[in-house]
Structure 1
Amino acid sequence: MIGYLNIILRLTIWFLLTGNFSIANIIIGVCVALLLPRSYTAPGALQDWLRVLWEVIVAIPQAYLEAFEIIFRPHNQEEVVIEQVKPRRSPGLIFLDIFLITFTPKTIVLKYHEQGWYEVHRVQRRKRT
């Protein structure tokens, strides 16, 4: 089951990059998804995949809310924080985690450290003192 999720993730990325749903592009995308080397690390559990897919669905309205908040209430303070990667993450799940962090307008992943850390840049409202 996890193998199918990896192929679907690869196809989704392919279609996002190409923006073309012609028959030839679909065939090329399937070939690319199947020919890309597979990771032989511990596969992510189906529950982890479903949780991340739910987080993607929730992130869409959150991104709109953050965008309007930035427009109407400027955010002048910036910080770079280090966040730890959740344990036992496959490369596909790490990619989706980075996508989720970067998808919202207030945060972006600057760097992923192989030791299990993300450097995340955040903007926030200046706290009144």
Structure 2
Amino acid sequence: MNSEQFISIIKKVVRESAIEDTIENLEDPPGRRVSENERHRSDWFNSLSSDSRINVESIIADAVDEALFGLLSVIDGARAIEDGENKGKLILTHKKQQEKVLNDPDKIGLHDLYKAN
């Protein structure tokens, strides 16, 4: 697996699932004991016009994208998670028959790949 394949998988397995699950939970909250807040949000969402629902779904997608971009920026080291000059470094590897560094600092960053595709 290379960096591009990793980002493609993240978009499919994480991004799409997070968006779909959030919308499904808004439409019909799961569980036997749905909280009052969840029920209220669901009733509100289900009462929206088609155009308003599309706007909310777009906001959900944007929020998921921002969260994933931020996480990938941290993994790449573009967004600091430690203070001071002596910071550690995160290394993301995929290991099968051989080990491949997915966030190689000499190549395009994962966060940049995410935004590019």
TM-score of the two chains, using structure 2 as the length reference: 0.28
**Structure number, greater radius of gyration:** 2
